[in-house]
Amino acid sequence: METSAVGGTIVTPVRKRRKFPATLTWLAVTPFAAWAIARVAGLERGSLPTQLMTATPYAAAGSLVPLLIAALGRRRAATVVALLTTAALGFSVLPRAFGTADAVQGRAFRVMTLNMLFGRADVATVMKLVREFDPDVLSTQELTPDAVADLDAAGLKTLMPHRVLQDEWSATGSGLFSKHPLEPLSNWTPPPGHRMPAAVVLLPGGEPIEFIDAHPYPPLGPQVSDWNAALAALPSASPQRVRVIAGDFNASLDHAALRGLLSRGYKDAADQVGAGLIPTWPANKPVPPIITIDHVLVDRRVGVKEVSVRDVPRTDHRAVLARLIVP
């Protein structure tokens, strides 16, 4: 208030800040809170929720919007819930972007894995990666007889003469190629899904390594049951032998089924070195890759030095290359 020169008092009205309506605030906050609960507790059930869970990194970023709405609207309860939601999603996702190479001693072991999309992946690019990266084992999914013939004609037979192949004229085929002798894994009962060859790699300088080429069915429609069963059936880590499982898991680290497998003695190589958020699918599309479903899982005794992801024309997956150190 102030006094007028001609008498009287001038009253300046106090403007009240308008709050964002409480109902709309909670409508913004609640879906993200439910997502955070489902992610942390592993509550996704059925095909659609399982597929949606791969978008958790985007949900984590999006959860900042309702937090801002609640905070600016001075809705205390909603702000607290939104803050807890963002924190839960952030702690679930952000660690994948941070990590360092393991300082361990042992034998170098390089792994490359690629889904070849019905064998259509560009052979010249695959061979370029093989020559540059020099993998000890190449794990392939959707491998066809024609793809095997084309790769061998391009020089793979010379570079990686040892193999355990289950190539087929469909998405079902898979195969392991190696610089070192391979022995098909005895008593191996593959879980439900596409072909999943397994072998013992006779790596020089120490004990053999067990290697599994993973490719469960995608969790689409009724196949979600087989997808869950496949991830549950993959063997736990064993103190008797170091094991590596690499391939197209059709699963991200936001799926409880894959985290369950990791809890049985494995770690995700990309996650260890801060490359866990690099998307691998769908590649070579009008939109860039958006989710990470191709992985190299390693025994916890295995060190991870580096993981990179490379584009390969004519397939909808990107190749994953991992430099490991095995005991």
Residue 42 has pLDDT above 60, yes or no: yes
Per-residue confidence at 323, pLDDT binned at 50, 70, 90? Answer: very high
- For 290-302, the pLDDT digits (tens) are 999 999 999 999 9
Tell me, what's the pLDDT at 6? Answer: 60
Residue 242: pLDDT above 70?
yes
CB atoms inside a 10 Å sphere around CB 51: 17
Confidence of residue 34 (pLDDT cuts 50, 70, 90): very high
CA 121 to chain centroid, in Å, comes to 20
Asked if 242 and 210 touch (Cβ cutoff 8 Å), the reply is: yes
Whether pLDDT at 33 is above 80: yes
pLDDT at 4 over 60: no
Rounded to whole angstroms, how far apart are CA atoms 297 and 275?
Answer: 13
Quick one: average pLDDT of 91-113?
Answer: 93
pLDDT at 258 over 60: yes
Q: 277-286, pLDDT tens digit by residue? A: 999 999 999 9
**Is the pLDDT score of 2 beyond 90?**
no
Domain architecture of the chain: domains with CATH:
22-97 (no CATH), 107-326 (3.60.10.10)
- Tens of pLDDT, residue by residue over 113-134, are 999 999 999 999 999 999 999 9
Average pLDDT of span 197-221:
96
Length of the chain: 327
Asked if residue 20 has pLDDT above 80, the reply is: no
Chain position carrying tokens 């905070």: 71
pLDDT of amino acid 104: 83
Parallel, antiparallel, or unpaired: how do β-strands 243-248 and 209-214 relate? Answer: parallel
Which residues, 6 or more positions from 73, have their beta carbon under 8 angstroms from its beta carbon?
19, 20, 25
- Name the pLDDT band for 147 (thresholds 50, 70, 90): very high
Q: Give pLDDT, residue 291.
A: 98
Closest by CA position to 240, among listed 301, 316, 149: 301
Specify the pLDDT at position 88.
98
Query: DSSP class of residue 281?
Result: B
Mean pLDDT calculated for residue range 43-49: 95
d(CA 170, CA 118): 6
